[in-house]
Chains A and B, each alone.
Chain A
Amino acid sequence: MRLLEYQAKSLFAEYNIPIPNGLTSTDITQGRKDAAVLGFPFVIKAQMAVGGRGKAGAIQKCQNADEFELKYPDIMQKVVKGEKTKAILLEKMADIKKELYISLFLNRGKRCYTIIASGEGGVEIESVKNQIIREVGLGNVDAKTAEDVGKQMGLKDKPLTQFVDILQKLAKITIDKEAELAEINPLAVLGDESVVALDGKVIIDDNAMFRHDELRKFQEVSELEERAEKSGFSLVELDGNIAVVGNGAGLVMSTLDMLSDNGGKPACFLDVGGGATTETVYEALTLISKMKKVKGILVNLYGGIVKTTTVATAFIKAYEDKVIDLPVFARMSGAEADKSKEMLKGSRTKMFDTIEEAINAAVIEMNKNG
């Protein structure tokens, strides 16, 4: 789960990492009240789970009430790289002397947490120069390590002391909240030598959420995603018109790739889990029926243990119950494939021996319908 900037900053505040004064709203009425409390000038910042907001005009300075009336609605309806504005943060401007970069992230290859720091922050991590990299095991950062990193970044005196404190607190957040990433970019040194977190990005390990009820308030899932999760499925909604269903994340990804290679447009990624039963496949079809853009369904099931007839039963039931009325292109390997084909004869579900054949048929059918 990726926290929005204001959510990350509320964690920072809880751990006494300095942040600028700011207020968050989701409509302009509340926004006006926030503006009155804060006082002009300030920065209007779109809250969305994506980088590059500044360049896209989703962060803008605001000098007075007239500007506010124009800019607030404009930023509210911004879409950057497909991500919509979820809320708006109004924040006091800071007198920035120097921008730094600091993060702790889960280094998968090394299987430990790693600090990345730089005295030249404020740009996206890929462009951050002179990176200082330190492995820190399970995430704990002692004062000496933090001081070494700060010195290497060129900090001294008051900013160095403050940096050491902030880095240690950021490490504590990472450990306490089981974050895969905790990043402050930029971490700013101000005119008065104080150090402040001007932005925040925190990604929490989804699998650890059962230990973090206090973070539930930040969780935002669509109705469909929630339903999928309840059934033990993984669902990612996409832009196309062919729903892609299968058992196993790798297999569904692979099917998505092949469909795209052949000019098909996936509407979703739906992994029903390693096994497949009549109930799970029926539930998957029910979920898909709620996505309006779907015009066809591509199914790739690797049976092995599961009999394909079990799955065929689910399709027949779904048509009978009028859950779906869509063409299905299915590849099911496994026991009793011939019997399944026989069962599905005359229905809108076509069975194929290979996934390549199923994909070809699906793409041709979708193109026919424009």
Chain B
Amino acid sequence: MVDLFELLIGKEGDKDYKKKPVIVQGITGKFGAFHTQQMLAYGTNIVAGVTPGKGGQKQEGVPIYETMQQAVGATGAKISIIFVPAKFFLSAAVEALESGIKLLIAIPEHVPVKDAMTIVELAKKKDAIVVGPNTPGIIIPGIIKIGIMPAMPFKEGRIAVISRSGTLMYEVSHNLSIANFGQSVCFGIGGDPINGTPLIQAFDTIRDGANIDGIVVVGEIGGDAEEMLAQHIIDTKFDKPVVAYIAGRAAPKEKRMGHAGAIVYGNYGSAESKVSMYAKANVPVAKRPAEVPMLLAGKFEKGRIK
């Protein structure tokens, strides 16, 4: 398995330490162009863009290539972020993985499940990490931002945030930041039924990080990712503080609440089911985003007394 932090930051002594090169697929679209500028402003080292038909031009000073093969060949980048419309996602993602990309951030919303599953299979064969689709991306505050999140809510620190929702990741991180819980990484896994990196995998990717004192998991109704994570926390005797939030307690059943993955069938995917499993794993669940830092502080307090 490839190491996420090594891909994102590298090792001290690497000549691109904390300056890992990133390619933007769909760099000339309105959305892609805007966020390229935002990521550059944050300090992300964007070295190339890809838009078929626009090779040889520049966007925000970044050279554009016709294909991923050319862009990877010219830059050696291992990270790519995709901004193309959902119906073109599959071909863009295949092109990236076939060209040797090892970390693929998939921004588009409304990607069909079948296409996401196809990419999951290909990524396994290529030993690559896919984050998303329908994700805001990943940010390591102060070092690298690969995604569409605003910079404002995030602050350097030692808490990891994993989230199924974009704006809730900002909201919860904002609340953590003002309570002086900065973040070592904020990882958006995406709001779709099929995630390139599911909740448990995201958790395992960061759990033992030396720069991580505690983990906040921002979830929502739909599926059983939270239940599986709770069981995993029990099974692996994870002992750093974990606090959760779950959105959608008041949502009606069998209605898709904005995210393709946020839907309850019977008890499958219900908030009650998730809260009760978290209780077994001794993970407190906040009633509202502003309560997250309080519960986290409580967990640290308990740890000290013990």
Which A residues form the contact surface with B (CB < 8 A)?
2, 49-50, 82, 106, 108-109, 111-112, 124-126, 138, 178, 180, 205-208, 210-211, 234, 236, 238, 246-254, 256-261, 266, 269, 271, 274, 302-305, 333-334, 354-356
**Contacts A254-B247, A257-B247: A180 and B289 contacting too (C-beta < 8 A)?**
no
Name the one of A82, A108, A271, A303 contacting B258, with C-beta atoms under 8 angstroms. Answer: A271
Bound complex: CA A92 to CA B113 (Å) = 37
Name the one of A124, A208, A247 contacting B112, with C-beta atoms under 8 angstroms. Answer: A208
Bound complex: CA A354 to CA B194 (Å) = 33
**Residues in chain A near residue B224, CB distance under 8 A:** 108-109
Residue pair B113, A178 in contact (C-beta under 8 Å) = yes
Q: Mark B235-278, 1 if CB is under 8 A from A, else 0.
A: 00000000001011111101111111110001100000000000
Q: Is the interface of A mostly helix, strand, loop or mixed?
A: mixed
Residue pair B112, A253 in contact (C-beta under 8 Å) = no
**Residues in chain A near residue B168, CB distance under 8 A:** 248, 250-251, 254
**Contacts A111-B198, A236-B257, A257-B249: A250 and B191 contacting too (C-beta < 8 A)?**
yes
Residue pair B255, A247 in contact (C-beta under 8 Å) = no
Bound complex: CA A333 to CA B110 (Å) = 27
CB distance from B41 to the nearest CB of A (A): 11
Residue pair A106, B113 in contact (C-beta under 8 Å) = yes
**Residues in chain B near residue A246, CB distance under 8 A:** 167
Which of the four size classes fits the interface of chain B? Answer: 35 or more
A248 to chain B: closest residue by CB: B167
Residue pair A250, B165 in contact (C-beta under 8 Å) = yes
How many A-B residue contacts, CB cutoff 8 Å? 160
Question: Which 10 pairs, one residue from A and one from B, show the smallest C-beta to C-beta distance?
Answer: A250-B165, A304-B150, A249-B258, A248-B167, A250-B168, A208-B112, A260-B250, A234-B258, A251-B167, A253-B247
Interface flag for B96 (CB, 8 Å): no
**Residues in chain B near residue A250, CB distance under 8 A:** 163-169, 191, 218, 220, 247, 258-259
**Residues in chain B near residue A303, CB distance under 8 A:** 150
**Residues in chain A near residue B225, CB distance under 8 A:** 108-109
- Give chain B interface residues in 205-220, CB to chain A under 8 Å: 218, 220
A138 to chain B: closest residue by CB: B117
Interface flag for B20 (CB, 8 Å): no
Bound complex: CA A108 to CA B219 (Å) = 15
Bound complex: CA A12 to CA B248 (Å) = 34
**Contacts A250-B165, A251-B168, A254-B168: A108 and B251 contacting too (C-beta < 8 A)?**
no
Name the one of B117, B167, B288 contacting A247, with C-beta atoms under 8 angstroms. Answer: B167
Residue pair A302, B112 in contact (C-beta under 8 Å) = no
Name the one of B87, B220, B222, B259 contacting A210, with C-beta atoms under 8 angstroms. Answer: B87
Interface flag for B86 (CB, 8 Å): yes
**Residues in chain B near residue A178, CB distance under 8 A:** 112-114
**Residues in chain B near residue A253, CB distance under 8 A:** 165, 220-221, 247-248, 250-251, 257-258, 262
Interface flag for B174 (CB, 8 Å): yes
Bound complex: CA A259 to CA B250 (Å) = 9
Residue pair A207, B111 in contact (C-beta under 8 Å) = yes
Q: Mark B143-169, 1 if CB is under 8 A from A, else 0.
A: 000001111110000000001111111
**Residues in chain B near residue A251, CB distance under 8 A:** 165, 167-168, 171, 247
B165 to chain A: closest residue by CB: A250
- Of A180, A252, A254, chain B has the most CB atoms within 10 Å of the CB of A254
Residue pair B250, A266 in contact (C-beta under 8 Å) = yes
**Residues in chain B near residue A355, CB distance under 8 A:** 288
Bound complex: CA A251 to CA B247 (Å) = 8
Bound complex: CA A355 to CA B191 (Å) = 23
**Residues in chain B near residue A261, CB distance under 8 A:** 250, 287-288
**Residues in chain B near residue A234, CB distance under 8 A:** 256-258
- Of B165, B169, B255, chain A has the most CB atoms within 10 Å of the CB of B165
- Give chain B interface residues in 75-90, CB to chain A under 8 Å: 86-87
Bound complex: CA A355 to CA B168 (Å) = 13
B174 to chain A: closest residue by CB: A333
Interface flag for B203 (CB, 8 Å): no
CB distance from A83 to the nearest CB of B (A): 9
**Residues in chain A near residue B136, CB distance under 8 A:** 274
Residue pair A208, B38 in contact (C-beta under 8 Å) = no
Interface flag for B120 (CB, 8 Å): yes
A302 to chain B: closest residue by CB: B167
**Residues in chain B near residue A333, CB distance under 8 A:** 174
Interface flag for B228 (CB, 8 Å): yes
Bound complex: CA A261 to CA B250 (Å) = 8
Interface flag for B284 (CB, 8 Å): no
Name the one of A124, A180, A266 contacting B193, with C-beta atoms under 8 angstroms. Answer: A180
Bound complex: CA A106 to CA B258 (Å) = 19
Interface flag for B170 (CB, 8 Å): yes
B260 to chain A: closest residue by CB: A207
Residue pair A274, B113 in contact (C-beta under 8 Å) = no
* 30 A-B contact pairs sorted by A residue (CB < 8 Å): A106-B113, A108-B193, A108-B224, A111-B194, A111-B198, A138-B117, A138-B118, A178-B112, A206-B260, A207-B112, A211-B112, A234-B258, A236-B258, A249-B191, A251-B168, A251-B247, A253-B262, A254-B171, A257-B250, A257-B288, A261-B288, A269-B251, A269-B258, A274-B148, A302-B167, A304-B152, A304-B170, A334-B150, A354-B290, A355-B288
**Residues in chain A near residue B287, CB distance under 8 A:** 257-258, 261
Interface flag for B26 (CB, 8 Å): no
Residue pair B166, A274 in contact (C-beta under 8 Å) = yes
Bound complex: CA A211 to CA B151 (Å) = 37
Residue pair B288, A249 in contact (C-beta under 8 Å) = no
Bound complex: CA A124 to CA B267 (Å) = 12
Other A-B contacts than A112-B117, A302-B167, 11 sampled, CB-CB below 8 A, are A109-B224, A138-B118, A207-B260, A234-B256, A234-B258, A236-B256, A250-B247, A253-B258, A256-B251, A302-B174, A356-B288
